[in-house]
Amino acid sequence: MIDSLLSYDFAWKAYATGQSLATDKTHIFRIDVNNHFQKIKKELADVLSEREQEKASRIFIPKDKERYAVSKFCLRTILGLCLNISPQEIDFIFHEHKKPTVIGIEFNISHTGDYVLIAISPKAVGIDVEYLNREFDFKSILDITFSKKEIDFIGDKDVDPTNFYVMWTRKEALLKASGEGVSDNLHLIECLDEHLEREKEVFKMRTFMIEDSYVASIATTLDQKELLFWNWE
């Protein structure tokens, strides 16, 4: 089953700022934090909101601060391109479960390690990326997080932990797409199938690797058949 769940081998294309984006399709942007922070740090005060700048100032670990700043800067830039407004004009609305939205487009963001992933779509979308930590002892949380079938799929703690991150990112992406956010009953939300229903909407799940160290999953509505994958240049 692992082969089928990781069967999406996407071609990442270089995206150049100013390139038009079809707003009827789902776009996924991959951003390398290390390559972008030095380029944008002088512009942060002009693009990020006061609230975002204040939050960044409270992050004491430099790597975490850089990743947060890059994620907010690039999100505003990409949304601005889609909506034909300046990044500073993006007005986020916070709905139930504190999920941010903007009028006219759906988006979701996830970041860890060296990467930020941003998904933009005309319909509900959720994305999650996790660093593949091969030293993490995940056995202690299996029973409270996964169903019996999922635990069988993940296998023993001594095997390759990729299966664990496959299932974890699928749950996260699905719940972010449905707008539910964190759930106390993750073990009841089985994510082995390609099509999963939440909140009266059916989502298609896709799981893929980034290099050999990151596992990511994206949940989209069924009508989003063509996904475009971009390296943010």
Beta-carbon neighbour count of residue 21 at 10 Å? Answer: 16
> Over its length of 233 residues, how does the chain's per-residue pLDDT go in tens digits?
455 688 777 889 999 877 888 889 999 999 999 989 999 999 999 999 999 999 999 999 999 999 999 999 999 999 999 999 999 999 998 876 667 889 889 999 999 999 999 999 999 999 999 999 988 888 888 999 999 999 999 987 677 789 999 999 999 999 999 988 777 789 999 999 999 999 899 999 999 999 889 999 999 999 999 899 999 97
- What are the boundaries of each domain within the chain? 2-232
Q: Structure pTM?
A: 0.93
Domain 2-232 grouped into CATH 3.90.470.20 = yes
DSSP string computed for 87-141:
GGG---EE-GGG-EEBTTBEEEEEEETTEEEEEEESS-EEEEEEE--TT---GGG
